[in-house]
Amino acid sequence: MKPIQLKAEIISNKQVGPNFWRCEISAAKIAKGALAGQFLNIKVNDTCVPLLRRPLSIHHADDRKLAVLYEALGPGTRALSLKKQGEFLDLIGPLGKGFKIPPAQAGGKNVLVAGGLGVAPLLFLSKKLNPAHTSVIIGARTKNHLLCAGEFKKRGFQTHITTDDGSAGLKGQVTDLLAKMISKINRLNIYACGPKKMLQAVAEISVKNKFNAQLSLETHMACGIGACLGCVVNTTKGFKRVCSDGPVFQADELIW
Ligand SMILES: Cc1cc2nc3c(=O)[nH]c(=O)nc-3n(C[C@H](O)[C@H](O)[C@H](O)COP(=O)(O)OP(=O)(O)OC[C@H]3O[C@@H](n4cnc5c(N)ncnc54)[C@H](O)[C@@H]3O)c2cc1C
Ligand code: FES
């Protein structure tokens, strides 16, 4: 669907981790057409601080509402974390191009690879995938920074965890587990979202093994609608705008 702009009421805005928040917003018009991997560009305040909208992945969408999952990092997300039920946000969405789901008959296994807040779009994507053919790898700084592992497990996905300090799951990186997993598989669809370094490592593994991999990039953005060229990345097809040509790209088209 074409993106639209609207003022949407906050249904809830709850802290779900050390500095993590989940905000539910009443926005049926955007939610009904939203695809996993697309994002909202949110103007948190009517004031000029912060001046620019902030892009956040669509974490959940149903007939009535949307949700975003975010870390209160800088002025935009900190201001968002202070918003209460009943207040309004100015949204543009759904923006960008989401994940493409290969037809079921294409076969192969799926793996979702999430680093930190990268779980936000992947939990939404998981609703379209069969848990019997899909594994999930989630990486976090520590056990306390782990997000959504319980939700994936509840939905029946085999869920693997890595933490930087070893406080939950394997001590190490998501790509350590991915490398182990692929030693037993020859057809794999990888869907990944997380920090740039992680995505680059996932891309290397997938290109080397000729797997289909879709990566959702989280570059800095300004306009969010393809107008300013503030978010371009280099690809085998020339420079592409993350906000309008992505944020999801095939791993083999990205030049790092
Ligand atoms: C398509 C897309 C989807 C996103 N989805 C989410 C999401 O679901 N949840 C979430 O918490 N965040 C998400 N982000 C990242 C979020 O938009 C940025 O972190 C945003 O800048 C936060 O605004 P702020 O004012 O709070 O912090 P800022 O002051 O803008 O940034 C805070 C700190 O983070 C750094 N930073 C900002 N943006 C990035 C970036 N893209 N990559 C690396 N470092 C950065 C800044 O340099 C600064 O140090 C997404 C970004 C994109 C492009
Ligand atoms: S943020 Fe302006 S073109 Fe992408």
Q: Looking at domain 4-95, which CATH architecture does it have?
A: Beta Barrel (2.40)
pLDDT tens digit sequence for 119-133: 999 999 999 999 999
What is the Å distance from ligand 2's center to 141 Cα?
30
From the CA of 77, how far away is ligand 1's center (Å)? Answer: 8
Which residue among 97, 229, 233, 249 has the greatest number of ligand 2 atoms within 8 angstroms of its CB, and so is best to mutate?
229
Q: Grade residue 205 by pLDDT with cuts at 50, 70 and 90.
A: very high
Region 242-253: what's the mean pLDDT?
A: 97
The residue extents of the domains of the chain are 4-95, 104-253
- The stretch 247-255 carries a mean pLDDT of 97
Contact 24, 12 (CB under 8 A): yes
Residue 226 beta carbon below 6 angstroms from any ligand 2 atom: yes
Please list every protein residue whose CB sits less than 6 Å from any atom of ligand 1.
39, 50, 54-57, 68-71, 73-78, 117, 120, 218-221, 247
Q: Which atom of ligand 1 is nearest to the CA of 243?
A: 1
As a whole number, mean pLDDT of residues 42-66 equals 92
Atom of ligand 2 nearest to the CA of 223: 2
The string of DSSP codes covering 146-163 is --SHHHHHHTT-EEEEEE
Atom of ligand 1 at shortest range from CA of 20: 11
Binding site membership of 92 for ligand 2 (Cβ less than 6 Å): no
Q: Supply the residue whose CA is at minimum distance from atom 52 of ligand 1.
A: 218
**Is the model's pTM score more than 0.75?**
yes
Tell whether ligand 2 has an atom less than 6 A from the beta carbon of residue 145: no
Q: List the beta bridge partners of residue 179.
A: none
Place of tokens 């598989």: 185
Q: What is the pLDDT of residue 105?
A: 55
Lowest mean pLDDT among 24-28, 47-51, 127-131, 195-199: 47-51
How many Å separate Cα 186 from the centre of its chain? 26
3-state secondary structure of 79: helix
Q: What is the reported pLDDT for 49?
A: 76
Residues 158, 79: Cα–Cα separation, whole Å? 36
Could you tell me the two tokens for 166? 């070893």
pLDDT at 186: 79
* Omega cis (within 30) before 247: yes
Decide: 25 and 9 in contact? Cβ < 8 Å.
yes
pLDDT tens readout for residues 102-113: 776 566 799 999
* pLDDT reading at 75 higher than 60: yes
Q: Which CATH class is domain 104-253?
A: alpha beta
For the record, the structure tokens of 189 come out as 């669809």
CA distance 28 to 3: 13
Beta strands per DSSP E along the chain: 4-15, 20-26, 39-43, 54-57, 60-61, 65-71, 88-95, 109-115, 134-140, 158-163, 170-171, 188-193, 212-216, 232-235, 238-241, 248-250
